[in-house]
Structure 1
Amino acid sequence: MKIEMTNPKTGEVKEIKVGWSWILFLFSSFFGLPLFLRRLYIWGGILLSLGIVYIIAPSMMYDEEESLGLIIVLNLVFLGLQIWLGIKGNEMTAKNYLELGWHFTNPNSDEVKFAKGKWGINI
Protein backbone atom coordinates (compact mmCIF):
# COMPACT_ATOMS: atom_id res chain seq x y z
CA MET A 1 0.00 0.00 0.00
CA LYS A 2 1.27 3.46 -0.89
CA ILE A 3 0.19 6.92 0.13
CA GLU A 4 0.80 10.19 -1.65
CA MET A 5 2.26 13.31 -0.10
CA THR A 6 2.25 16.72 -1.77
CA ASN A 7 4.55 19.69 -1.35
CA PRO A 8 2.19 22.69 -1.22
CA LYS A 9 4.90 25.11 -2.42
CA THR A 10 5.99 23.23 -5.52
CA GLY A 11 3.12 20.81 -6.15
CA GLU A 12 5.58 17.91 -6.17
CA VAL A 13 3.98 14.57 -5.28
CA LYS A 14 5.81 11.62 -3.68
CA GLU A 15 4.51 8.12 -3.03
CA ILE A 16 5.53 6.51 0.24
CA LYS A 17 5.02 2.83 0.86
CA VAL A 18 3.50 1.72 4.15
CA GLY A 19 5.58 -1.13 5.55
CA TRP A 20 8.98 -2.62 4.79
CA SER A 21 11.44 -0.52 2.76
CA TRP A 22 13.46 -2.77 0.49
CA ILE A 23 15.37 0.19 -0.93
CA LEU A 24 16.69 1.24 2.48
CA PHE A 25 17.33 -2.34 3.56
CA LEU A 26 19.35 -3.23 0.48
CA PHE A 27 21.08 0.02 -0.46
CA SER A 28 21.46 2.23 2.64
CA SER A 29 24.92 0.77 3.26
CA PHE A 30 26.14 2.43 0.05
CA PHE A 31 27.25 5.56 1.90
CA GLY A 32 23.67 6.39 2.92
CA LEU A 33 22.68 7.50 -0.57
CA PRO A 34 18.97 6.51 -0.37
CA LEU A 35 18.72 8.34 2.95
CA PHE A 36 20.11 11.54 1.46
CA LEU A 37 17.63 11.21 -1.43
CA ARG A 38 14.79 10.93 1.10
CA ARG A 39 16.08 14.05 2.90
CA LEU A 40 17.03 12.05 6.00
CA TYR A 41 20.37 13.82 6.21
CA ILE A 42 21.34 12.83 9.76
CA TRP A 43 20.87 9.11 9.09
CA GLY A 44 22.60 9.49 5.73
CA GLY A 45 25.53 11.14 7.49
CA ILE A 46 25.71 8.34 10.04
CA LEU A 47 25.85 5.67 7.33
CA LEU A 48 28.31 7.73 5.28
CA SER A 49 30.59 8.02 8.31
CA LEU A 50 30.34 4.30 9.03
CA GLY A 51 31.13 3.54 5.38
CA ILE A 52 34.25 5.69 5.53
CA VAL A 53 35.33 4.00 8.77
CA TYR A 54 34.67 0.61 7.16
CA ILE A 55 37.03 1.47 4.30
CA ILE A 56 39.80 3.30 6.15
CA ALA A 57 40.07 1.82 9.67
CA PRO A 58 40.98 -1.82 8.86
CA SER A 59 43.83 -0.73 6.58
CA MET A 60 45.29 1.42 9.38
CA MET A 61 45.53 -1.48 11.83
CA TYR A 62 48.71 -3.51 12.02
CA ASP A 63 47.26 -6.63 13.61
CA GLU A 64 45.29 -8.84 11.22
CA GLU A 65 43.10 -10.29 13.97
CA GLU A 66 42.08 -6.83 15.23
CA SER A 67 41.36 -5.75 11.67
CA LEU A 68 39.17 -8.81 11.08
CA GLY A 69 37.38 -8.20 14.40
CA LEU A 70 36.64 -4.61 13.41
CA ILE A 71 35.32 -5.69 10.02
CA ILE A 72 33.01 -8.25 11.65
CA VAL A 73 31.70 -5.70 14.17
CA LEU A 74 31.10 -3.09 11.44
CA ASN A 75 29.29 -5.68 9.29
CA LEU A 76 27.01 -6.53 12.22
CA VAL A 77 26.36 -2.82 12.84
CA PHE A 78 25.51 -2.32 9.17
CA LEU A 79 23.21 -5.34 9.16
CA GLY A 80 21.40 -4.14 12.29
CA LEU A 81 20.98 -0.63 10.87
CA GLN A 82 19.77 -1.99 7.54
CA ILE A 83 17.12 -4.15 9.22
CA TRP A 84 16.04 -1.23 11.41
CA LEU A 85 15.88 1.13 8.40
CA GLY A 86 13.89 -1.46 6.47
CA ILE A 87 11.32 -1.49 9.26
CA LYS A 88 11.25 2.22 10.17
CA GLY A 89 12.52 3.93 7.00
CA ASN A 90 9.20 4.72 5.33
CA GLU A 91 7.77 6.01 8.62
CA MET A 92 10.79 8.27 9.12
CA THR A 93 10.46 9.52 5.54
CA ALA A 94 6.77 10.40 5.96
CA LYS A 95 7.37 12.14 9.29
CA ASN A 96 10.28 14.07 7.80
CA TYR A 97 8.16 15.24 4.87
CA LEU A 98 5.43 16.36 7.27
CA GLU A 99 8.01 18.37 9.24
CA LEU A 100 9.16 19.97 5.98
CA GLY A 101 5.63 21.19 5.28
CA TRP A 102 4.33 18.44 3.01
CA HIS A 103 0.81 17.11 3.52
CA PHE A 104 -1.15 14.01 2.61
CA THR A 105 -2.75 14.32 -0.81
CA ASN A 106 -5.95 12.50 0.25
CA PRO A 107 -6.02 12.92 4.05
CA ASN A 108 -9.42 11.23 4.48
CA SER A 109 -8.66 8.07 2.49
CA ASP A 110 -8.55 4.70 4.23
CA GLU A 111 -4.91 4.22 3.20
CA VAL A 112 -3.82 7.46 4.87
CA LYS A 113 -5.82 6.65 8.01
CA PHE A 114 -4.14 3.24 8.17
CA ALA A 115 -0.68 4.79 7.64
CA LYS A 116 -1.28 7.42 10.32
CA GLY A 117 -2.32 4.74 12.79
CA LYS A 118 0.65 2.51 11.96
CA TRP A 119 3.14 5.40 12.13
CA GLY A 120 1.63 7.07 15.19
CA ILE A 121 0.78 10.33 13.41
CA ASN A 122 -2.06 12.32 14.96
CA ILE A 123 -2.56 15.09 12.41
Structure 2
Amino acid sequence: MIRKLILAGVFALAGTLAHADEPIVGNWKTASGDTAIIASCGGSSYCITLKTGKYAGRKIGTLAGSGEDYTGEITDPSNDKTYSGSGTISGSSLKMKGCVLKILCKSQTWTRL
Protein backbone atom coordinates (compact mmCIF):
# COMPACT_ATOMS: atom_id res chain seq x y z
CA MET A 1 0.00 0.00 0.00
CA ILE A 2 2.74 2.47 0.98
CA ARG A 3 4.75 1.50 -2.08
CA LYS A 4 1.75 2.29 -4.33
CA LEU A 5 1.35 5.71 -2.68
CA ILE A 6 5.05 6.49 -3.15
CA LEU A 7 4.93 5.43 -6.81
CA ALA A 8 1.78 7.52 -7.37
CA GLY A 9 3.56 10.53 -5.84
CA VAL A 10 6.62 10.02 -8.02
CA PHE A 11 4.48 9.79 -11.18
CA ALA A 12 2.49 12.88 -10.18
CA LEU A 13 5.72 14.84 -9.61
CA ALA A 14 7.16 13.66 -12.92
CA GLY A 15 3.99 14.79 -14.71
CA THR A 16 4.24 18.21 -13.05
CA LEU A 17 7.86 18.61 -14.12
CA ALA A 18 7.09 17.56 -17.67
CA HIS A 19 4.40 20.27 -17.93
CA ALA A 20 6.25 23.07 -16.15
CA ASP A 21 5.23 26.60 -17.02
CA GLU A 22 7.06 28.44 -19.76
CA PRO A 23 9.53 31.09 -18.58
CA ILE A 24 7.13 33.87 -19.66
CA VAL A 25 4.39 32.76 -17.24
CA GLY A 26 4.14 34.86 -14.08
CA ASN A 27 3.83 38.36 -12.71
CA TRP A 28 5.80 41.20 -14.31
CA LYS A 29 6.41 44.83 -13.37
CA THR A 30 5.85 46.93 -16.50
CA ALA A 31 7.87 49.99 -17.50
CA SER A 32 5.09 52.21 -16.12
CA GLY A 33 5.24 50.41 -12.75
CA ASP A 34 1.99 48.45 -13.13
CA THR A 35 1.79 44.70 -12.61
CA ALA A 36 0.91 42.45 -15.54
CA ILE A 37 0.22 38.75 -15.33
CA ILE A 38 1.11 36.44 -18.18
CA ALA A 39 -0.71 33.12 -18.12
CA SER A 40 -1.46 30.27 -20.48
CA CYS A 41 -4.68 30.85 -22.41
CA GLY A 42 -4.77 27.61 -24.37
CA GLY A 43 -2.28 25.66 -26.43
CA SER A 44 0.98 27.53 -26.76
CA SER A 45 -0.66 30.97 -26.33
CA TYR A 46 -0.05 33.28 -23.38
CA CYS A 47 -2.41 36.11 -22.45
CA ILE A 48 -1.16 39.34 -20.91
CA THR A 49 -3.54 41.03 -18.47
CA LEU A 50 -2.89 44.10 -16.34
CA LYS A 51 -3.43 43.44 -12.63
CA THR A 52 -2.84 46.96 -11.30
CA GLY A 53 -3.01 50.55 -12.45
CA LYS A 54 -5.51 52.58 -14.47
CA TYR A 55 -6.25 49.68 -16.85
CA ALA A 56 -6.36 46.86 -14.26
CA GLY A 57 -8.24 43.79 -15.50
CA ARG A 58 -7.69 44.62 -19.15
CA LYS A 59 -6.15 42.08 -21.53
CA ILE A 60 -3.36 43.81 -23.44
CA GLY A 61 -1.86 41.04 -25.51
CA THR A 62 -1.43 37.49 -26.65
CA LEU A 63 1.92 35.88 -27.38
CA ALA A 64 2.89 32.41 -28.55
CA GLY A 65 6.22 30.64 -28.39
CA SER A 66 8.48 28.88 -25.95
CA GLY A 67 11.76 29.24 -24.15
CA GLU A 68 13.11 32.77 -24.52
CA ASP A 69 11.24 34.04 -27.62
CA TYR A 70 7.54 34.82 -28.10
CA THR A 71 5.56 36.64 -30.81
CA GLY A 72 2.01 37.89 -31.17
CA GLU A 73 0.04 41.07 -30.60
CA ILE A 74 0.28 43.78 -27.96
CA THR A 75 -2.31 46.51 -27.33
CA ASP A 76 -1.45 49.91 -25.87
CA PRO A 77 -4.30 50.40 -23.38
CA SER A 78 -3.96 54.20 -23.45
CA ASN A 79 -4.94 54.49 -27.13
CA ASP A 80 -6.45 51.04 -27.80
CA LYS A 81 -4.09 50.41 -30.74
CA THR A 82 -2.82 46.89 -31.37
CA TYR A 83 0.68 46.22 -32.69
CA SER A 84 2.68 43.23 -33.88
CA GLY A 85 4.57 42.25 -30.77
CA SER A 86 7.32 40.14 -29.39
CA GLY A 87 8.82 39.27 -26.06
CA THR A 88 12.31 38.05 -25.28
CA ILE A 89 13.32 36.76 -21.86
CA SER A 90 16.78 37.19 -20.41
CA GLY A 91 17.12 36.20 -16.78
CA SER A 92 14.45 38.07 -14.81
CA SER A 93 13.84 40.60 -17.61
CA LEU A 94 11.30 40.53 -20.41
CA LYS A 95 11.94 42.86 -23.35
CA MET A 96 8.57 43.68 -24.92
CA LYS A 97 8.49 45.16 -28.42
CA GLY A 98 5.56 46.46 -30.44
CA CYS A 99 5.81 47.46 -34.12
CA VAL A 100 3.74 49.08 -36.86
CA LEU A 101 4.62 47.67 -40.29
CA LYS A 102 7.77 46.16 -38.72
CA ILE A 103 9.43 49.56 -39.21
CA LEU A 104 8.23 51.79 -36.37
CA CYS A 105 8.90 49.97 -33.14
CA LYS A 106 8.85 50.77 -29.44
CA SER A 107 10.23 48.57 -26.75
CA GLN A 108 10.30 48.42 -22.98
CA THR A 109 11.73 46.07 -20.41
CA TRP A 110 9.60 44.42 -17.76
CA THR A 111 10.97 42.81 -14.57
CA ARG A 112 9.78 39.56 -13.02
CA LEU A 113 8.12 39.99 -9.63
Same fold (TM over 0.5): no
Instruction: Compute the TM-score of the two structures, normalised by the length of structure 1.
Output: 0.27
